[in-house]
Structure 1
Amino acid sequence: MPLRNVERTPAAVWEALKTGNQRFTEHRGDHPNQDGPRRQALREGQRPSAVVISCSDSRVPVEIIFDVGLGDLFVVRTAGEILDQAVFGSIEYAIEALEVPLVVVMGHESCGAVAATVAALDGGDIPGGYQRVLIEKVAPSILEARGLGKTTTEEFECHHVLATVNQILSRSPEIAERVESGEVGIVGLRYRLSDGLTETVITRNAD
């Protein structure tokens, strides 16, 4: 079923995304909502079913991973899926103006921002210019993970997703209130480059 025809509840949208990801991993994608009529319909406006905050990594094409099409997702991408004022504004716009019922935070296997941050914390070089901001933004989650006894790259990547979800809920009262009321759900994922699956790190009000 195309995502646009799914009931607009957090649980229903999340289930549809999981089903789409399963199709992607099994190489039997529907590739919905990618034709001429769909493009024409979108000229009148958009009504995506979820907002996805994802890493900018070229190996993580969000719409393909979930087997959805044009207008199905409102995607915000930054290296390391880091948050700033523009990202928060984009998420709140998706929830308040576009009425999306689900927020997805998606990190991934072999994340360069996480790897670079771990290396910098271990005494390696810190990039210059604006790239330094990436290290500064990711470092708190890596330090927190180490404080909890986590040591592997996979654990760091998963914890960075969890920390990002927690930041969204703690820094945006508007989003937190809607999640608390049950109007909106939030999901944290780690995409595995190796097999194409999205593994769940955390869910709130999406089950």
Structure 2
Amino acid sequence: MWAMLEQGNRRWAGGTSRRPRQDPAWRRRLAAGQSPQAVVLSCIDSRVPPEVVFDVGIGDLLVVRTAAHTLDALVTAAVQYGPQALRAPLVVVLGHQHCGAVTAAARALRRGETLPGELPRIVAALEPAYATCDGQVEPMVRAHILRTVARLRADPLLYGTATVIGAYYALDTGLVSRVT
């Protein structure tokens, strides 16, 4: 499955996207049920839509998006749903270049600021990556990918059920590279 995602990403980055399985007939076929090939946990950033980045069709991915692909109990449950209920064999944790959530968290931690509303939850989730990277944003993104992958690989409902990998999307080139 990862090979299919890599091929689709190369098409996307190279400007030769096919946009497969996005026609009305395919949509009607999927109305009866879904069987995605992978779960993608990614950031909410509007520049990183996994279906587009991997040039796949409707129903190919179960996408879970949070700020900086942070985990909590509900997000973990959504990720678990793919392999458990839908038998998706792959989970991809997709971080990306120039992540606004990571940038905001790093800035808040550096300055000792408290962000408004529920945003401190994002900062708290990213603090371990901040601590290992001296607050540098791009290394923080990669460290957080590795941390998220480790947490999901240790999950009893995912262990032995799905392969969990980490990947990084470069906004500048459009390319996704595997980091684990």
Shared fold per TM-score greater than 0.5? yes
Bigger Cα displacement from structure 2, 161-170 vs 51-60: 161-170
Q: State the one-letter code of the partner of 1:157.
A: V
Counterpart of 2:63 (choices 58, 75, 90) is 75
Q: How does 1:114-133 map to 2 (within 5 A)?
A: 114-133=102-121
The corresponding residue for 2:41 is 53
2:140 to 143, 146, 156: 156
State percent identity of aligned pairs: 39
| Cα RMSD, aligned residues only | 1.3
| 5+ residue gaps, structure 2 | none
Q: 1:56: Cα distance to partner?
A: 0.3
Any idea what SS the aligned residue of 2:179 has? strand
The correspondence for 1:90, drawn from 65, 72, 78, is 78
Residue 108 in 1 paired to residue 86 in 2? Answer: no
Q: How many corresponding residue pairs?
A: 180
Q: Specify the code of the residue in structure 2 equivalent to 1:117.
A: A
Deviations 1:83-138 (A, max 9, x none): 01111111111101100010000010011111112112212532111111111111
Give unpaired runs (5+ residues) of structure 1.
1-12, 179-183, 203-207
Q: Is the 8 A contact 2:130 2:136 kept in 1?
A: no
Q: Deviations over 1:43-92 (max 9, x none)?
A: 10001000000000001011000001110100000011000111111111
Which stretches of structure 1, 4 residues or longer, exceed 4 Å deviation after superposition?
A: none
**TM-score w.r.t. length of structure 1:** 0.83
User: TM (normalized to structure 2)?
Assistant: 0.95
Which residue of 16, 19, 41 maps to 1:31?
Answer: 19
Moved more, 85-94 or 98-107: 85-94
In 2, distance between residues paired with 1:134 and 1:188? 19
Aligned equivalent of 2:152: 168
Q: Structure 1 residue 156: deviation in Å?
A: 1.4
